[in-house]
Structure 1
Amino acid sequence: MADPQRSDPSVVLLPPVGNDARTWDAVDLPDAARLHQFPGFGRPRAASPLTMAGLADEVVAAHPGPLHLIGVSMGGMVALNAALRHPDRVVSVLVACTGASASPAVMEQRAVAAETGGMAAVLEDTLSRWFTPQALAMAPAHPGVAYARELLLGLDPAAFAAGWRAIATHDTAPRLGDLGMPVTAVAGGQDQASPRSRSEEIASRAPRGRLVVVDEAPHMIQLEQPAALGRVIAEHLEWSAGRPG
C-alpha cells in the first residue's frame, strides 16, 4: 500500500464564514482541488460548539496525505490553525484577507446580532464589509454579490452565530514563528474587514512567509476578484514547490 505521506499534496480550499463550496465557482482552481465546507454552511450544523482547533482537526482528518491549504477569511484562520496543529501534514498555506487573531468581543456582537435580528437584519452590514461600493452598486447584476445575498438570507442565523463564535477562538499570533512551511499572506487593497497590516503581520513573522497584495480586492476576494485570486494561488503553488512563479 502506498504511503499517503509520500503522495502528491492535495490542494484544499477553505471558504469564509457563511460561504459554501459555490464561493469558488469563478476562481480558476488547480485540477482535482478539494472544496471543503464547514458545518452549518453547505452541510448540517455540528452538535457541539465550533472552535478553530476542532475545525482545523476536521480538515486534516477529512483529507488524507500532505496538504496545501488555501483559505479566505475564516478559511484562512482554519488553515493557520491546521498548519500549527499538524505541521507533519500541511506542506504550505495561502491565507487571503485574514489575520493571526480575532477580537472575541466583536465576534460575539456579530453572533448576537444574527441570533436576535435574523439574517435580514445583518445582511447589509455584512455585505458592506465584504464588497467594494462599486460591486454593491452593480447588484443584482454582480454575480458575487448576488450569490452572497442569496446565501446569507438562506442561512440559519444560529449557524452564522456559531461561525462567529468559532472565529472568536482564533489566536495564532504567538505561534506564527512556528510555521515552518511556505506561507503566502494575501491582502486586499480594498479590504475594509481585514486591513493589509493583518496580512503583513503573518507574512513578516512566518519564517517562510511572503506578502502578496491585490490592490482591487475587497474582503471577498474570491467573489469580486476571482481571476486575480486564481493567479495568486497558481503562483503560490509554484513558489512552495521551489519553482519560479
Structure 2
Amino acid sequence: MSVIVLVHALGSSARAWQPQVAALAERHKVLAPDLPGHGEAPGPFGLEPAAFAVAELIAAEPEPVHLVGISVGATVAMLAALDDPARIASLTLSGGTAHAPGVALQRNLMRLMPTGMIAALMSGMYAGGRPDRKSQAKADLRTAGKRAFLTGLTELAALDLRPRLADLKTPALILCGTKDKENIAPARELAETLPNAHLDLIPEAGHIWNLQFPDLFTAKLTEFIDR
C-alpha cells in the first residue's frame, strides 16, 4: 500500500483534501496534515516550520511517499522533499512556484485588510468555486488569519528554490489550471527545471481545482502514481 501525503494551500486546511482522501483511502494510506497555524495545528505559520512538519511526517513512514502539494503547499512540499529526496517516491505540484517575487504586491495589499475581508474575498477561490464548500473555506481562512498570509507571502517573495531543484530527481507531475493564469509560467518553469518532470495543464481549471474538479484531480494523481 502506497503512502500519499497531501499538503494544503496557505490559508486552507487538511479539510480541503476531503474528496481525495475519501477516494484514495481504499487503495492507499493517505496523510493530510494541517500545516502550522492552520486547521487544528498550533502556529505560527512559516514555510520552514511547515516543511519541517511535513518532513517529520514523511520520515516516520517505512517507505518513500508520494508527496502532493497545491498552491503554497507545493512550495512547502518542495522544501520537505529537499530535506531528504530519497524519501520521496514521486512529487505532484499543482499551482506551485519555486520563485515568486511578485507576491510582495499581494502581501502589501493584504496588510490593509482585516482577516474578515481576506476570508470573504478569497473563500470562493479556496472553495474551488463550489458554493457548498464556501463556508468551510471561509472558516479555514479565518483560522489561519492575516498573520499567516503576511508571513507566508513575505517568505515566499524572498525564496528561490530554482538552484536546488536539480537535487529532486524523483518523477514529478506539474499541474496547473488554464484559468490559473498567473501560475502557468511558474508551472512551466518547474517542469523545465526539475530533472524528471511532466507538465499537464488542466482545461477550465482554476487555482484550487482539486475541489473544483475533484474526480479529475484524483484521476490525474492516481494515474501518475500507478505509472
- The TM-score normalised by the length of structure 2 is 0.84
Which of 216, 222, 230 pairs up with 2:210? 222
Aligned to 2:175: 186
2:35–2:53: 8 Å Cα contact kept in structure 1?
A: no
Are 2:14 and 2:32, in contact at CA under 8 Å, matched by a contact in 1? Answer: yes
- Corresponding residue number in structure 2 for 1:118: 114
Residue 24 of structure 2 aligns with which residue? Answer: 29
**Cα distance, 1:154 vs. partner?**
4.5
Residue correspondence of structure 1 range 163-182 to structure 2 within 5 A: 163-182=152-171
- Corresponding position of 2:196: 208
CA distance in 2, matches of 1:154, 1:57: 21
The reply on whether 1:57 has 2:46 as its aligned counterpart is: no
* Structure 1 residues 232 and 187, CA gap change in structure 2 (3 angstroms): same
- Contact preservation (8 Å) 1:216, 1:225: no
Q: Offset at 1:118? A: 1.3
Matches within 5 A, 1:2-17: 9-17=2-10
After the TM superposition, which of the residue ranges 146-155 and 71-80 deviates more from structure 2? 146-155
Kept after mapping to 1: 8 A contact 2:55/2:83:
no
CA RMSD of aligned residues (A): 2.5
Task: Indicate the SS of the match to 2:217.
Answer: helix
**1:12-52 per-position Cα deviation (integer Å, ceiling 9, x unaligned):** 00000011111011233343200111111111113xx623x
Pair 1:154–1:60, CA change in 2 (3 A) = closer
The AA in structure 2 aligned to 1:59 is V
TM-superposed CA distance for 1:181, in Å, is: 0.4
CA shift for structure 1 position 178: 2.4
> Relative to structure 1, is the Cα distance of residues 130 and 150 closer, same or farther in structure 2, using a 3 angstrom cutoff?
closer
How much does 1:77 deviate?
A: 0.6
Larger Rg: 1
Distance 2:24 2:38 in 1: 21
- Which TM-score applies when normalising by structure 1? 0.78
Which structure has the highest helix share of the two? 2
Amino acid in the other structure paired with 2:118? V
- 1:138-157 per-residue CA deviation (whole Å, 9 max, x = no partner) reads xxx62233432333244432
Instruction: State the partner residue of 1:242.
Output: none
- For residue 223 of structure 2, the aligned residue among 212, 235, 238 is 235
2:65–2:88 contact (8 Å) kept in structure 1: yes
Helix, strand or coil at the partner of 2:69: strand
* Structure 1 residue runs without a partner (length 5+): 1-7, 136-140, 240-245
Unpaired stretches in structure 2, ≥5 consecutive residues: none
Indicate how the Cα distance of structure 1 residues 120 and 127 shifts in structure 2: closer, same or farther if over 3 A, else same. Answer: same
2: distance between equivalents of 1:77 and 1:58? 14
Aligned residues: 219
State the secondary structure of the residue aligned to 2:91: strand
After the TM superposition, which segments of 4 or more aligned residues of structure 1 sit over 6 Å from their partners?
none
CA deviation vs aligned residue, 1:70-111 (integer Å, no higher than 9, x gap): 0001111111122223112122100001112121x634x544
Does 1:39 pair with 2:25?
Answer: no
Aligned to 2:85: 87
